[in-house]
Structure 1
Amino acid sequence: MKRLSDMTLEEKIGQLVMYGKYGEAQQKALAEGRIGSFLNNRGEETQSRQNIALDSPTGIPLIIGDDVIHGFRTIFPIPLALSCSFDMGLIEETCALSAREAAMEGINMIFAPMVDISRDPRWGRVAEGAGEDPYLGSEVARARVRGYQRNDWEDLPKIAACAKHYVAYGAPQGGRDYDGADISERSLREIYLPPFDAAVKAGVMSVMSSFNDLNGIPVSGNERAIRGILRGELGFEGVVVSDWESVEELVNHSIASDGREAARLGFKAGVDIDMNSGVYERYLKELVREGKLTIEEIDEAAWRVLKLKERLGLFGKKRFVIEEARRLSLENPAAKELALKAARESMVLLKNRDLLPLRKGTKLAVIGQLADDRPDMLGCWAGQVEAQESVTVLEGLENLGEEFLYERGSEINSDIEGGIGKAREIAAKAQVVLMVLGETSSMSGENRSRADITIPAAQRRLLRSVMEVNENVVLVVVSGRPLVLSWEEANVPAILQLWQPGHQAGNALAEILYGIHNPSGKLTMTFPTAVGQIPIYYNRKNTGRPLFKKYIDIQDEPLFPFGWGLSYTDFDYEDLALSTDSLKGGEELRVSARVTNRGDYDGSETVMLFVRDVTASVTRPVMELKGFEKLFLKAGQSKTVQFEITEETLTFLDENFRPVLEKGRFEVFLGRNSVEHLKGCFELI
């Protein structure tokens, strides 16, 4: 294997080239040692290409990347759903298993986690993130990086996580995917950068530069964003890989006149690896000869790539032999149990007017195409699986031994001739009607923005008609984003947000419906009352006229706020206590309260701590999440939960974006969500 100093310029540039295609040109370049990475190939394909690379003049193995967003062979809930578990250990375990399954097919770079904060549910890729809050988003980023990069095996490729999409990709105008992010420097630093900072501190090995324009300069050509902030301020020393052809797309953004100029701008900005466009392969050598790039700059980027390959343990291999990942997939009881647990913990009970849990033997009618649907239980980016491996809602009920009548009623977006009539007929015979409605997997994810985020019209007509003959409806919402459910919240007695929960969807739902498992998920993204409220999020600013009504035609409040999530039991919060009402710099303040399960069911409750800086030199949000803890309490049991407030908790960025700690009054809120909580206050002196 060649050292960097022994490589030709073409071979060095080859280490900066990644392809998702494999035509004659790529085959020739690979055999000549002029390609360093591939994506979207697995198993025998990967084995073959790795061995060709070993036989090439450089003898340097390949980085093999793939989008393992929420599972590879075992599919877990979409990341937005799993964030609602507020269980960082569970999230980490799902990523560790996903990484191991991917490694068994030769993958060594996972294009995840997506750590984009988003406040706009119209954007389809909210499904891939952790919601609207930068504190929670940072905690999830750490957990996912730890899981993907656990690498606790000896006989498989090591995995590099790739935090994406750097940066502010989650703030597209109008919720339109790929659109520009026109945001303030404060929003960039306080909302969108923290999860990337957390990923870097957790040791993430690679970062993906995003498609979007950031305040006039597309990120994949933005030297300040990549070299200045990511490397200079956050201290990232790993590899930056572009998103799919995002370097060449600088031409479409109109900041590069052609591919040559795009290659120069992308490379100068700090993008080490060009994904699939080929502009580095075509133009970097010429740019060096023209004096527009230097050999030293090429060496620096190539060295980072080679250093990553060394960390992944790729050097020193004589042959690559890829195992079949199915050996660790659904036949593995531990994987199946983890998928079941993840699905159960992710569901959010939005409303329950004493209809749930169901009693065994309840005369049940099930209505909705999604109740007998396999692929749409998996969500977007559903890994490398066959749809038949997922458990439908109907199968989950059958697995519990429950009997029911079933009708589709309608298609997702259209009526079925006679469908509503048949649905009404079985609904009239039932004690309870389970209606499974919402989105398909293809309605969220990349390039899947929606202007109307209600349940599709055909399904809404079906719901309203069924309720005319039986009001005892449990609405199960399948979606990859928060939906506008205003009519449903006002009229349907029970609503359960299923999300797209993965392979064990049906089994997990059945256990929730019949009280075998008590729901404990809490929303990490606000559900709007109407699309006109978007963007809507809990940690807003107060404005100069906080008591004025925001809208004249709808309520100001969201339909379901951040942290909302019901249980089959009742949790009481009492005895809020602060260890002091005057905190000095360098000291810690302890905030505690007693939480009691007053109901008849054992259950888990996520306790949240919010803080407000009442008066500061720059405007601060009305509250900010600063901690959370998930408790399990048996019926009648009490526990005291305690949080510590430190200087770091109270520090913010001043008008010059420098961290500052200012004296003054602070309010603390400890409770079940962003609107229901106990309140205390203290002075920082």
Structure 2
Amino acid sequence: MSNGSKPTGYVTERLRIRRRSLLLTAGLMGAWAASPLRAAVAAVGGDGGSARIKALLAKMTLEEKAGQLTLMPPVGGGGAAAFNPAQPGAVFSRQLDDARQMRLGGVFNAGSVAAMRALQTAAAKESRLGIPLIFGADVIHGYKTIFPVPLGEASSFDPGLCERTARVAAIEASASGLDWTFAPMVDIARDARWGRGVEGAGEDPLLGSELARARVRGFQGRSLSDDDAVLACAKHFAAYGAAESGLDYNTVDISELRLADVYLRPFKAAFDAGALSTMASFNEINGVPVHANSWLLKHILRDFWKFSGLVVSDFTGDLELVAHGFAADEREAAKLAILGGVDMSMASGLYLKYLPDLVAKNEVPMERIDEAVGRLLFVKEQLGLLDDPFRRLDTKRPAKRIGRPEHIALAREAAQKSIVLLKNEGQLLPLPRTGKRLALIGPFAAGAHDLVGPWTVFGKDADCVDLATGLRAALGDAASLAVVEGSTVDAPLDGGIDAAVAAAKAADIVILAIGERTTMSGEASSRDEIVIPQAQHDLAVAVAATGKPTVVVLKNGRALALSGAVLDAPAIVVTWFLGSQTGHAIADVLFGKVGPSGRLPVSFPRSSGQVPYYYAHKSTGRPNAKARSVRFKTNFLGLTNTALFPFGHGLTYGDIVYSDLTLSKTELSRSGMLSVSALITNNGVRAADELAQLYFEDVAASLTQPVRTLKAYKRVALPPGKAQRVSFELAASQLAFLGADMRPHLEPGLFRVWIAPSAEAEGVSGQFSLVG
């Protein structure tokens, strides 16, 4: 169950930032110098940190402090060669020497425990002060055992599941020497063109906040010092998902109200759950790049939220201040970033290169350097590295902790619960295991490709179960399945359509496996048209022309605008990128071993031109409440202003009916509680796992409010022919909204309430008044 919470508070004080650094850094220098080490004291404990940290800071040279604040990729790319650009002229012996000379604070995305042990030996045993390195990596949705991409897993609406998969990811990553994961990504994504939406939890801040908390708990475990825990890093702070036109790295121009009410809420949830690191985002906000945004990184994060952890740059994010047109050169970029609140520099090397001179020339106060180093040492201390630098570097441990049977079983469970049934006309699904000839057609029908999904550094497609393998294992007669590629992802195959049509004609039922390849989602993978590529669409048209019942199995990393033969198929299943157990999990759902239980965490638009589209939009003065386009109303010509498949939508193999909404009262006091319930009945012949969702609308307020807002949800297991009353407790405080003064406002008035199967379904609804 989910329960809503009060809107996150916000800071109203401003730091006026001007473009030129003379004005900017003068103000920042004054701010840091006004209370030396004040933030560092907060970061490492009320007394300024442990005695050990104080002693280390006192002994370190300025150059060694700059080295601590330097995080670099492994020489040669390590376990992430495809993600880490090669460093010209870099050799491992030189990186070892950097560790030995304390010119390095950590390494990320290294793939070899042996290499990490060698680096740690140089840092912890051979350097002057013996300060260990921290090893981080992008462990986004699994280490070797790969779980569904986070957007897919969000379809489960199950924080407990997300906590369990993050726990396994931490167990496997820590067994391989890692101390730190650059996850969870908690960016809210409301524009489906943005490729990085695949790494998050979708469009809703309530769901995003709950899954952020769960994943932090899973990664960090009972104690960060345990050898199976990794430090969580909530990213990307902040509003990266609000980039204009869904274009990666693009500008963000946003009101403080929307920033606070939508995009910052999951970060606050992650920090409240104990995340001790965050990553600055690539974007600017209202003209100031985040990597130099003191208002965001100091006033909100530190002064208002009292965040005590570490802020790390994104890959060369500090250097990119030059390309932004905000810093004149690399040296100024380093100054702006450290004064702006970025504690640790990733990949650029700017801090090591420029901080000593900046301090020597009184352009950056030493107190700011000590503050940043103190935070890093605090994190290393919390991870147990100052006590035992090799606690996660046991070369025998990977074999014992990676790929355990219970990990594989969890991957299958998570994949099952991530699958969303969009459409099932004529109860085509579930399919029979015997007695029917099946044709599996499409570029994602078979083969060790596009299984682990985007941002999987250490997992391999070759270790996953493809769809054909999963279907054959589930069928009574594997020979009853014909497999034909039909087309590539974005190009026709010679004779491909002819072969597909022949297979379809020879079959009783077609399973059409189409969608996006891995590289169509993730970083640097924004799409201007979020549609099925033309070659696959042509394949779908040809298969549909055979007249055979068709189940479309979508592989996708975002909401898609479906049309034509794809949309017209009697059954459509969204499978995202499911990871290690892809084929088995899809087969489990298609053949009814388990029922579909996933729900969309994002709205599927009617066309690419409709995005950004999200359910919690405003009414406007000319709303269109009709199921058709109306002139002089809020809709595109020829297009109704609704989703093709809305947030929260997902079918079961049951026949679900909502009825009998009951409110415990029709007037609610400001300190009161309202019970809202509905009867949910399964009139079908199969069991169903239904997700009841509670929404409300503030009908008239001093600031306009969304047409619906999700406040809670509950899962209901319904046997065939059974009914169950589902109740929600709604506190008056949950009706508050952020006002123009950035404070929660609770205003008397009329409210509508729904218990429904999606954000745009009617379900059952009623109304009540807040009084007093």
Equivalent residues in 2 for 1:302-381, closer than 5 Å: 302-317=373-388, 319=390, 321-323=393-395, 326-327=398-399, 331-353=403-425, 354-361=427-434, 362-381=436-455
1:492 aligns with: 569
Cα offset, 1:295, TM superposition: 1.3
SS at match of 1:606: strand
In the alignment, structure 1 residue 267 sits paired with structure 2 residue 338: yes
Seen in structure 2, the aligned counterparts of structure 1 residues 489 and 650 have a Cα distance that, compared at 3 Å, is farther
Of the candidates 640, 651, 656, which is equivalent to residue 571 of structure 1? 656
Cα offset, 1:16, TM superposition: 1.1
Cα offset, 1:580, TM superposition: 1.4
Q: Which structure 2 segments of 5+ residues have no match?
A: 1-51, 76-89, 625-632
Q: How many residues align?
A: 685
Seen in structure 2, the aligned counterparts of structure 1 residues 470 and 327 have a Cα distance that, compared at 3 Å, is farther
Q: Counterpart amino acid of 2:368?
A: E
1:4 aligns with: 57
1:143 aligns with: 214
Seen in structure 2, the aligned counterparts of structure 1 residues 77 and 329 have a Cα distance that, compared at 3 Å, is farther
2:693 aligns with: 608
1:250 aligns with: 321
In the alignment, structure 1 residue 663 sits paired with structure 2 residue 748: yes
Cα offset, 1:537, TM superposition: 0.5
On the 8 A contact 1:444/1:480 being kept in 2, the answer is: yes
Cα offset, 1:26, TM superposition: 3.4
CA distance in 2, matches of 1:438, 1:558: 19
SS at match of 1:38: strand
Q: Counterpart amino acid of 2:371?
A: E
On the 8 A contact 2:120/2:389 being kept in 1, the answer is: no
Cα offset, 1:649, TM superposition: 0.9
Q: Counterpart amino acid of 1:592?
A: S
CA distance in 2, matches of 1:617, 1:319: 57
Of the candidates 394, 400, 410, which is equivalent to residue 468 of structure 2? 394
SS at match of 2:388: coil
Cα offset, 1:31, TM superposition: 0.7
What CA deviation, in whole Å up to 9, does each residue of 1:385-405 have, x standing for no partner? 232210011100111134211
CA distance in 1, matches of 2:318, 2:251: 15
Q: Counterpart amino acid of 2:428?
A: L
CA distance in 1, matches of 2:129, 2:766: 65
CA distance in 1, matches of 2:295, 2:225: 39
Equivalent residues in 2 for 1:457-536, closer than 5 Å: 457-488=534-565, 490-536=567-613
1:561 aligns with: 646
Seen in structure 2, the aligned counterparts of structure 1 residues 157 and 144 have a Cα distance that, compared at 3 Å, is closer
SS at match of 1:165: strand
1:439 aligns with: 516
CA distance in 2, matches of 1:155, 1:197: 24
On the 8 A contact 2:253/2:285 being kept in 1, the answer is: yes
Q: Counterpart amino acid of 1:360?
A: R
2:36 aligns with: none
Q: Greater CA deviation, 385-394 or 483-492?
A: 483-492
Cα offset, 1:592, TM superposition: 1.4
On the 8 A contact 1:21/1:276 being kept in 2, the answer is: no
2:19 aligns with: none
CA distance in 2, matches of 1:470, 1:487: 14
CA distance in 2, matches of 1:304, 1:368: 51
Normalising by structure 2, we get a TM-score of 0.87
On the 8 A contact 1:603/1:633 being kept in 2, the answer is: yes
1:582 aligns with: 667
What CA deviation, in whole Å up to 9, does each residue of 1:92-138 have, x standing for no partner? 10000001100001111100000000111111111101100111111
2:713 aligns with: 628
Seen in structure 2, the aligned counterparts of structure 1 residues 490 and 301 have a Cα distance that, compared at 3 Å, is closer
CA distance in 1, matches of 2:390, 2:261: 47
2:124 aligns with: 54
Cα offset, 1:648, TM superposition: 3.1
What CA deviation, in whole Å up to 9, does each residue of 1:29-63 have, x standing for no partner? 21112211110113112111111111211211111
Equivalent residues in 2 for 1:62-77, closer than 5 Å: 62-77=133-148
Seen in structure 2, the aligned counterparts of structure 1 residues 193 and 557 have a Cα distance that, compared at 3 Å, is same
In the alignment, structure 1 residue 421 sits paired with structure 2 residue 498: yes
Cα offset, 1:316, TM superposition: 2.0
Cα offset, 1:329, TM superposition: 6.4
Of the candidates 22, 31, 36, which is equivalent to residue 100 of structure 2? 31
Q: Counterpart amino acid of 2:528?
A: A
CA distance in 2, matches of 1:331, 1:75: 10
On the 8 A contact 1:70/1:383 being kept in 2, the answer is: no
Equivalent residues in 2 for 1:178-193, closer than 5 Å: 178-193=249-264
Q: Counterpart amino acid of 1:35?
A: L
Of the candidates 192, 200, 206, which is equivalent to residue 121 of structure 1? 192
CA distance in 1, matches of 2:497, 2:488: 11
SS at match of 2:755: strand
SS at match of 1:539: coil
1:99 aligns with: 170
1:681 aligns with: 767
Q: Counterpart amino acid of 2:100?
A: A
SS at match of 2:399: helix
CA distance in 2, matches of 1:318, 1:274: 22
Q: Greater CA deviation, 9-18 or 168-177?
A: 9-18
On the 8 A contact 1:617/1:655 being kept in 2, the answer is: no
Q: Counterpart amino acid of 2:686?
A: Y
2:159 aligns with: 88
Cα offset, 1:525, TM superposition: 0.4
Normalising by structure 1, we get a TM-score of 0.97
On the 8 A contact 1:11/1:58 being kept in 2, the answer is: no
Q: Counterpart amino acid of 2:422?
A: L
CA distance in 2, matches of 1:295, 1:611: 51
CA distance in 2, matches of 1:405, 1:296: 69
Seen in structure 2, the aligned counterparts of structure 1 residues 581 and 364 have a Cα distance that, compared at 3 Å, is same
Cα offset, 1:236, TM superposition: 1.1
What CA deviation, in whole Å up to 9, does each residue of 1:461-516 have, x standing for no partner? 11101111133111101111111112246421111111111110100111111111
On the 8 A contact 1:14/1:33 being kept in 2, the answer is: yes
RMSD of aligned residue pairs (Cα, Å): 1.6
1:241 aligns with: 312
What's the % identity of the aligned pairs? Answer: 42
Of the candidates 716, 739, 745, which is equivalent to residue 654 of structure 1? 739
Q: Counterpart amino acid of 2:751?
A: F
2:280 aligns with: 209
SS at match of 1:101: helix
Q: Which structure 1 segments of 5+ residues have no match?
A: none
CA distance in 1, matches of 2:130, 2:221: 27
In the alignment, structure 1 residue 156 sits paired with structure 2 residue 227: yes
SS at match of 1:377: coil
CA distance in 1, matches of 2:143, 2:522: 16
CA distance in 2, matches of 1:496, 1:672: 17
Equivalent residues in 2 for 1:450-461, closer than 5 Å: 450-461=527-538
On the 8 A contact 1:328/1:335 being kept in 2, the answer is: no
SS at match of 1:272: coil
Of the candidates 353, 361, 373, which is equivalent to residue 290 of structure 1? 361
SS at match of 2:548: coil
Seen in structure 2, the aligned counterparts of structure 1 residues 153 and 534 have a Cα distance that, compared at 3 Å, is closer
Seen in structure 2, the aligned counterparts of structure 1 residues 323 and 144 have a Cα distance that, compared at 3 Å, is same
What CA deviation, in whole Å up to 9, does each residue of 1:335-367 have, x standing for no partner? 111000000000111111121111122211111
